[in-house]
Structure 1
Amino acid sequence: MALSTGPLSIGIDIGTSGARAVAMRLDFSIAARSAVPLGRFGQNARDPSVWWSAVGVALTELLSSIDRAAVRSIAVDGTSGTLLPVDGAGRPLAEPLMYNDKVDDDAILAVIAREAPAASAARGATSGLAKALSFQRQPGVAAVLHQADWIAGQFSGRFDISDENNALKTGYDVEARRWPDWIAATGMRMGFLPGVVKPGDVTGKLTASAADRFGLARDVAVVAGTTDGCA
């Protein structure tokens, strides 16, 4: 095993074709990297269990080539505009709608067009807000999350938090740093939307099960990530 000098941060990318992971030093140099195709775990790239399986293998491969004790934080980026509904324990309730999927519901699109500011990224059939409005009808739903939120939740146990970049297409106001009032006017139940923090903010620590699975310290920080495009 190649040991790394100094603390390391791990970045995980879940994309349309695979999962990738890097371990980065404080000077932003890369200590190690790994990549695993989603196809190794099945042909349905929309299946969250496939996402998590790929992330797990990519992270395990990465950790095999670094000093696990040096890892101090983990962050996740995902495809912008990919959303899924979950129950109170973070379990997916329906197949996710991917970043380029369109919501085929004229009523939803009409209400967004009426309420959203002209410059809002939440306008249009592929927006995160259109998907959230569709998913809030799902029986048993407790939250509607972005892809990166859900993956990060597998590490932290939190399924109630997002970052500003992922939340942008769902209508988040990055200047005011809050969900704007007009979103509620679309009929969106605001309690289903996650709280939002800046990319890089610490959102929690590893759960005991995640720490044990990957052989990491339980005080490793889980940090808010971003979208694949920003990453």
Structure 2
Amino acid sequence: MPKYLLAHDLGTSGNKATLFTTRGARIKSKTYRYSTRFAGQGRAEQNPEDWWKAVVTTTRELAAEVRKEDILAVSFSGQMMGCLCVDKNGLPLHDSMIWADTRSVAEERFLKEKIEPFRIYSITGQQANAGCSLEKLLWIKNNRPEVYRNTYKMLNAKDYIVLRMTGKFLTDYSDASETNAFDLNSFRWSEEIIDAAGIAPDLLPDVRPSTYVAGGLLRGAAEECGLSRKTLVVLGGGDGACATVGAGAVSEGTTYNCLGSSSWISTTSKKQILDAQMRTFNFAHLIPGYICPCGTMQAAGASYEWMKEQLCGYERETAGLQGKDIYSLIDTAIGKSPAGAKGLIYLPYLLGERSPRWNPRAKGAFVGLTMSHTHEDMVRSVVEGIGLNLRLILDVLRGHYRVERIFVLGGLAKSKEVCQILADIYGTELLPLDHPDEATSIGAAAAAGVAVGALESFAEVKRFTKPAAGFVPGGENSERYNRALEIFDHTYEALTGIFEELA
């Protein structure tokens, strides 16, 4: 009789639960959407109770598909760089400040004044920035002192669900490494940085490997979720680390590009890659001792979704009237515009920017609009702007290791037009995975499988996924994009002063 692993991917727009057999077969997935509140001034918040409802609802639906006693373990992938303060009873004291929240600009400056910026970078693998959990916790201390006084622990999304299921206050190495308070050289909380920040060190949870078994389910949690109390709760990891495993990057040198709401390019390494300009960063892999050098942009899929909602009324109406897929209609529109979108530049900075800009005040923009530009040109330019920004990240990483091919995953990887544009911009073959939007879930399932002995090692992730047909860069288009890249970079630099004025 088959045994099962249940994986939850607590993303930005919702939770996706997927049930796998221990042999890697995907049984079924369920998604539960929740909202983000963008209240201006860099705020991006979610209600943690929505996360719990999402997990309970999807777990009950999937557990009903099989004998619940046959589900060996449940594990998690979660959005990183959040800040949720809970009290001693595990009750949230505020809505969670998620990764996209950048209100803590003053706290970022404070930390850089206390410790030399490259010192922070060399300890934590990333520079101080307003998106990190430590800066968010500092903002809580400075602006909501009553919350700070009552805080017992600061948690990320998946950590809160583990708490609800087991009563344990824990995080894993990957989520810890994205807080800006974790020493990637010793895999411990950094006393130097925590002391400089003036944060009480006991507010940070205990850190364990992603394969750590937090325990069995509490009776109430088991009843709510429809699971057996014998099902083990495995800690799991941040979405970046889980995607790394789900992309098959479990050995040194494998490179992949995740195309979700945010997007990143990463590889697997035995050591950090420290860029002299601090444009890229590093976080802990699911595999103990490994590092993921990475560059992440804020609004990739988010830019695409903004474009779909704000610019694609025709495609949306046509899809509704004719029962067609809106994404295939958008692909058709993209294909009607030439490479370079007739010189139209889109800056994809709708949520500020991490790599390579590290500018929370950056804004989105269309530059170069003329009377000759069409709807199709604007749609294509959005995809090209995402790709050009990612190309800047890729070029930094290429300065440290050779990239022969890139595995690609995430929702946008399902679009042939998007994949071909990215291959042309990168000048590198792209290989989409056969389940491009499930890599994070696969990584979480692999962590569960290794934890309970159903998988010998993370190398067994090949049971779950394999690459599909690839996309080869076109010479003429690649040359055109090489020229556009310089203009794209100059456009951003020319507008940095304007961004400050707008802020």
The alignment's TM-score, normalised by the length of structure 1, stands at 0.88
Matched, 1:223 2:219: no
Asked whether the 8 Å contact 2:162–2:214 carries over to 1, the reply is no
Matched, 1:110 2:109: yes
Structure 1 segments of 4+ aligned residues over 4 angstroms from their partners: 42-45
**Could you tell me how far 1:65 is from its partner in structure 2?**
1.4
Letter in 1 for 2:166: S
Asked whether the 8 Å contact 1:206–1:218 carries over to 2, the reply is yes
Letter in 2 for 1:34: K
**Could you tell me how far 1:217 is from its partner in structure 2?**
2.1
Letter in 1 for 2:240: G
Asked whether the 8 Å contact 2:104–2:136 carries over to 1, the reply is no
For 1:111 and 1:93, how far apart are their aligned partners in 2?
25
Larger Rg: 1 or 2? 2
SS of the residue corresponding to residue 188 of structure 1 reads coil
Asked whether the 8 Å contact 1:163–1:198 carries over to 2, the reply is yes
Q: Greater helix share, 1 or 2?
A: 2
> Could you say what the CA RMSD is over the residues aligned between the two structures, in angstroms?
2.1
Q: Per-residue CA shift, 1:126-169, capped at 9, x if unaligned? A: 111101223354231111111110012111122x2101111112
SS of the residue corresponding to residue 117 of structure 1 reads helix
Asked whether the 8 Å contact 2:59–2:226 carries over to 1, the reply is no
Taking a change above 3 Å as real, the CA distance of residues 211 and 177 of structure 1, as seen in their structure-2 partners, is same
Asked whether the 8 Å contact 1:87–1:93 carries over to 2, the reply is yes
**Could you tell me how far 1:20 is from its partner in structure 2?**
0.9
Taking a change above 3 Å as real, the CA distance of residues 87 and 102 of structure 1, as seen in their structure-2 partners, is same
Share of identical aligned residues, percent?
A: 24
1:213 is matched with 224
2:130 is matched with 125
Larger RCO: 1 or 2 (CA < 8 Å, sep 6+): 1
SS of the residue corresponding to residue 69 of structure 1 reads helix
User: Which runs of 5 or more residues in structure 1 are unaligned?
Assistant: none
Q: Per-residue CA shift, 1:68-103, capped at 9, x if unaligned? A: 110111112211112211111111101211101113
Q: Give 1:155's match in structure 2, choosing from 147, 151, 165.
A: 165
Asked whether the 8 Å contact 2:222–2:228 carries over to 1, the reply is yes
Matches within 5 A, 1:39-58: 46-58=46-58
Matches within 5 A, 1:54-65: 54-65=54-65
Number of aligned residues: 223
Letter in 2 for 1:187: G
